[in-house]
Amino acid sequence: MPKVKFDHVSFLVRDLDATIKDYQQMLAVLDPEQAKQIVWGEGVEQGYKLRWATFVNPHGAALQFFESENPYDLKLLEKYGERVHHIAFTSDDIRKTVSDLDQAGIPLTSKELSGPGNMPWLKWTFVPPKKAHGVLIEVATRYKVENGQWVKDY
């Protein structure tokens, strides 16, 4: 049985740099430990550039923010504004977890995993909001932070 854990809440934002500055200021007061370490990343998924930053939380779920050039994400921003995009669970055996979800009759946006091209080990898919009562749920490869970078955690 794969080890699966709740990992982060991710927000779709227009200006990643401004968002991170604002959250650093807020977290310095609200949760100083979480404000200490940010992991930055970028990649290309389905031909569109993504940039993200994750406030690593040593005692719970992380806060992640991303900006995207994907027309679908840009349409979401236009229609709804900046907002929670998804919540994420990570697995040490993503393919088995996806198979388990499928066998349980839980719909997925795709049974084929995708991910950023510059981290071929990082894969994800989603449970659509219709099944999750308005929330997009990411199911992704388990990772950890080493030297300010995400690396496989299995």
Residue spans per domain, the chain:
4-152
Contact 97, 4 (CB under 8 A): yes
What pLDDT was estimated at residue 45? Answer: 86
Confidence of residue 59 (pLDDT cuts 50, 70, 90): confident
pLDDT digits (tens, 9 = 90+) for 113-152: 999 888 899 999 999 999 999 999 999 999 988 888 888 8
Positive or negative CA dihedral for 151, 143, 97, 88? negative
CA–CA gap between residue 145 and residue 34 (Å, rounded): 13
Quote the pLDDT of residue 46. 86
Average pLDDT of 31-50? Answer: 92
Q: What is the pTM of this model?
A: 0.88
C-alpha 33/C-alpha 59 separation (Å) is 9
- pLDDT tens, 2-22? 999 999 999 999 999 999 999
Q: Residue 60: what pLDDT?
A: 86
- The CATH architecture one would assign to domain 4-152 is Roll (3.10)
